[in-house]
Amino acid sequence: MPVKDHGFRRAAPAPRPAGPTPTPTSAGPTLRRAAPALAGFAAVRLLGLAVLAVWSAAAGSSPHTLLSARWDSLWYARVAAEGYGYEIVLPDGDVHSNLAFFPLLPWLERAVAAVTGLSYGSAGLVVSALASLAAAWGIFAVADLLYGRRAGTCAAVAWAALPVGIVQSMAYSEALFTALAAWALYGALRGQWLTAGLLAAGAGLTRPVGAAVVAGVWVAAALAWRRGEGSWRTVAGVLLAPLGAAAYVLWVGARTGRGVLGYLDVQAGWGNGFDGGWAFARFVGDKLASPAFAAGIGLIAGVALVLWLYRLCVKQRQPAALLVYCGIVVALALCASGYFGSKPRLLLPAFPLLLPVAALLARWRTARAGAALGAAALAAAAYGAFWLNGSGPP
């Protein structure tokens, strides 16, 4: 049985990053065991959709359009409908190419649309709804494995109640990616290397940050091998993990004629890159020097909160696979050079940040923990409706 440490500073902490593979609970991540977590997750997401519907009715907007036919949703739907090759040349010469969008979500949209007759955008909502449930289940499974069922339930509900949780209900790839990442990492923690490798490959076909999943699986495999627990399955999982991302990046390179640099060129056309956070720091500095001073303070507080939570993850002694995965997701989100408004949703897959909070909530009485999560869910529902009816995710 795993050590069920629900606090931040216990003498018997969660499994050590370099220690043995955590022993699963006897029940495993069965649907019956996860049912309370999935019910809580679904309730929070339905609350968010209900508030969005009411808010949109008052604003004269369409919640369906906001969820399925704006921003990146349109790009994914176009890939599903027409394939790759579409691009927009902006007045400043920048080129926005749909090659920036990884193919797994459009493939699934196309499959669902073919079976159901739905539009590609609506099919994307179906994919995201199912994927978000799978993600909540995977988050529950990881937290349950390490800290017990109550912590797993709190983690899944807390993920639904994040301020930008509404993205989980959009025709975006965050929910699909998080589902693949959570289950890949769960497989790595359990020593299920073929499963972990295949799911990591799927994550690599979903978003560029799939590299974080690959790194997490590789670290877990290296530690298992060092403990003498490696086998041909470990090697196979390690080899399978990067195939999805590598295949797409190499295909884009061949299509653009730029080799391995092709995908970086595509991202540069969108203004995206990795500069160690310099552009983001300047953006925050500009806010502090403008009438939007409060927004700058809020951004600093948000970054500090994320870093503090990651520090708690380290102090909680989460397995190395989770720490590596989460650290890369956070670094790529905070240190990217473009689309600063996207950073909150880019952090959605960093679910290990919630495990210290979930472990704490699991120590509370049910009524107290429920009240805290309920308040967070109400705030997230209101913010999500306000956000999508305003600037929304770029």
pLDDT digits (tens, 9 = 90+) for 24-79: 444 457 889 999 999 999 999 999 999 999 999 999 999 999 999 999 999 999 99
Query: Which residues touch 368 (CB under 8 Å, ≥6 apart)?
Result: none
Residue 9 has a CB neighbour count (10 Å cut-off) of: 9
**Choice between 375 and 273, residue whose per-residue pLDDT is larger:** 375
Q: Does position 10 have pLDDT exceeding 60, yes or no? A: no
CA 270 to chain centre: 21
Rounded to the nearest integer, the mean pLDDT of the chain is 91
- Residue 20, in any domain of the structure: no
Does 312 map to a domain?
Answer: yes
Rounded to two decimals, the pTM is: 0.92
Q: Is residue 104 part of a domain?
A: yes
Grade residue 394 by pLDDT with cuts at 50, 70 and 90.
low
Q: Kindly indicate the confidence band of residue 235, based on its pLDDT and cuts at 50, 70 and 90.
A: very high
Where in the sequence is the domain holding 35, given as residue range(s)?
A: 31-388
Q: For residue 380, what pLDDT band results from cuts at 50, 70 and 90?
A: very high
pLDDT one-digit tens code per residue, 347-363: 999 999 999 999 999 99
Instruction: Report yes or no: 24 and 141 within 8 Å, Cβ to Cβ.
Output: no
Q: What pLDDT, on the 0 to 100 scale, is given for residue 170?
A: 97
Report yes or no on 9 lying in a domain: no
Among 65-79, 289-303, 320-334, which is the least confidently predicted range?
Answer: 289-303
State the sign of the Cα–Cα–Cα–Cα dihedral 158, 160, 164, 168. Answer: positive
Please report, for residues 40, 81, 306, 321, 388, the alpha-carbon distance to residue 190 in angstroms, rounded to integers and kept in the order given. Answer: 25, 39, 27, 11, 39
Q: Do the domain assignments include residue 5? A: no
Joined tokens for residue 196: 């972990």
pLDDT in the model for residue 93:
85
- pLDDT tens for 261-281 read 999 999 999 988 887 788 888
| CA angle 253–255–256, rounded 5-degree value | 65
Residue 220: name the closest of 195, 193, 180 by CA.
Answer: 193
Q: Report the domain count for the chain.
A: 1
Please give the pLDDT value at position 14: 38
Q: For residue 259, what pLDDT band results from cuts at 50, 70 and 90?
A: confident
Q: Give residue 255's pLDDT band: very low, low, confident or very high (50, 70, 90).
A: very high
Residue 393 belongs to a domain:
no
Whether residue 319 contacts residue 146, with contact meaning beta carbons closer than 8 Å, is answered with yes
Q: Cβ–Cβ contacts within 10 Å for residue 27, how many?
A: 11
d(CA 339, CA 346) in angstroms, rounded, equals: 10
Residue 391 pLDDT grade (very low, low, confident, very high; cuts 50, 70, 90): confident
Residue 370 lies in a domain: yes
What's the pLDDT score for residue 222? Answer: 97
The verdict on residue 24 lying in a domain is no
Q: What is the pLDDT of residues 101-148, one digit of tens each?
A: 999 999 999 999 999 999 999 999 999 999 999 999 999 999 999 999
- The predicted pLDDT at position 281 comes to 84
